[in-house]
Amino acid sequence: MSPVEREKYSRQILFPPLGETGQEMLLRARVVIVGCGALGSFQAAALARAGVGEIVVVDRDYVEPSNLQRQWLFDEADAAEGLPKAVAAVRKLAASNASVRTHAVVADLTPGNAEELLLPAGVILDGTDNFETRYLINDVAVKRGVPWIYGAAVGSHGVTMPILPGRSACLACIWPQPPSGAQPTCDTAGILNAVAALVGAWQVGEALKILAGRLEAVEPRLVSVDIWKNTFRSIGTSRSDPQCAACGRRQFSHLEGEGRPRITLCGRNSVQIHERARPLDLGPLRETLGRLGEVRANPYALRFFCSPFEMTVFPDGRAIIKGTTDIGVARSLYARYVGC
Ligand SMILES: [Zn+2]
C-alpha cells in the first residue's frame, strides 16, 4: 500500500477488524453491482470510497428525474442527458476516487450473459428491482461459489440477506419459487430514500466483511426493517435446505432458463423490448427518427419522443417504451420506428 493510500483510507485502517491487512484485500477486490438504482448507486458510491479496487456496474436503464429523490449518485444533468445509469455512475465514482477501476455495463442481465457479466467477483451485490434477476444471480453465485447480498426496499420497508454458498441458505432455500403475481414496487407503492440508504448500507457492511476476508463476522440472517413503523426483525439463515433446487440439487433452472420473456414490463408505465439479439447502429437511426420527431441522443442511448410515448433505444438493440404497459402497443412502436 502506498503512503497516499495509507492516508486516504486511514480512518478505515484504524478500525481494528479491518486494519491494514483488510484494506489491502479491499484494494485487490473486484465487486459486481447488478442494478444501479437506489440500492446500487449507494453501494457503488460507498464501495468506491472504501477503496474497493475494481467495481463493475451493470444496469439496463437510464437516469430519469423521478430517480433523483433516492438514487444517490445521479444529478439533474444526468437526467436531462438521459444517460444510462451505469455510465453516469462510473463517472461519479471516478470523481470520488480516481484510483478505483470501474466498468459500466449497459445491459440487461440474462441467462445468456449472466456468468460472463457477474464473474469474477469477490462478492455480487443485488441492486435490482425484480425477482427474475435475483434468481438468476442466485443460480450463478451458488453454481460458482461466489457470495452475494440480496437487498430490496419499497415504501418504508427493506429486506437484506447475505448468501454464502456452502455456508448458508440461498435465496431458493428461503423462497423456492419467485413470488407470484404483482409485487409492490417503487413505481406503484413509492419509497422513502432513507430505507433505501439503510438497506444499501447494510449490504455494503456485509460486502466489506466478505471482501476483507472476515467471514466469521458475517452472520447469515434475513434482516427486515421498517423505518416508518420502527420495526426490526432478524432471522438466522445459517442452515440451507438439502432439498433446495439450487444449492441442494444443483439444478440451475433460472440460469439454464429458455423461457425468459423477450418483453418485460418495467413497472413504471413502460415496457422493455429485448427481442432483437443483434447490435444496433444508433447513428443512422438518429437521422431517420430525427425527421419524424424530437430525438435526443448520446453515445449510449437514443431517446425518441413520439407523443404520448417515449422510446429509448440502446446499442444492444433493446428499447424501453414509456407511456404504455400494453405489450402489443410497445411491440408495434418498436417495429414501426426501429424495425424488426
Ligand atoms: Zn438453496
* Catalytic annotation, residues: 186
Q: What is the mean pLDDT of residues 53-80?
A: 94
Beta bridge partners of 33: 57, 125
Q: What is the largest CA-CA distance in the chain?
A: 63
Three-state DSSP class for residue 19: helix
Ligand 1 centroid to Cα of residue 243, in Å, is: 8
Ligand 1 centroid to Cα of residue 263, in Å, is: 28
Cell digits of residue 24 = 489491502
- Label residue 15 by pLDDT band (50, 70, 90): very high
Ligand 1 centroid to Cα of residue 248, in Å, is: 6
Residue 130 has pLDDT above 90, yes or no: no
What is the average pLDDT value for the chain, to the nearest integer? 92
- Label residue 340 by pLDDT band (50, 70, 90): low
Ligand 1 centroid to Cα of residue 183, in Å, is: 22
pLDDT above 90 covers what percent of the chain? 70
In the DSSP assignment, the letter for residue 57 is E
Q: Is 175:222 a contact under the CB 8 Å cutoff?
A: no
Rounded to an integer, what distance in angstroms lies between the CA atom of residue 290 and that of residue 311? 13
Q: What is the mean pLDDT of residues 183-191?
A: 77
Please provide the distance, in angstroms rounded to a whole number, between the alpha carbons at the two ends of the chain.
53
Beta bridge partners of 270: 322
Cell digits of residue 29 = 477486490
Q: Is 88:73 a contact under the CB 8 Å cutoff?
A: yes
Q: Is 164:147 a contact under the CB 8 Å cutoff?
A: yes
Stated as kind and residue range, the H or E segment containing 153 is strand 148-154
Cell digits of residue 46 = 460507498
Q: Is 209:177 a contact under the CB 8 Å cutoff?
A: no
pLDDT at 182: 60
Neighbouring C-beta atoms of residue 281, cutoff 10 Å? 8
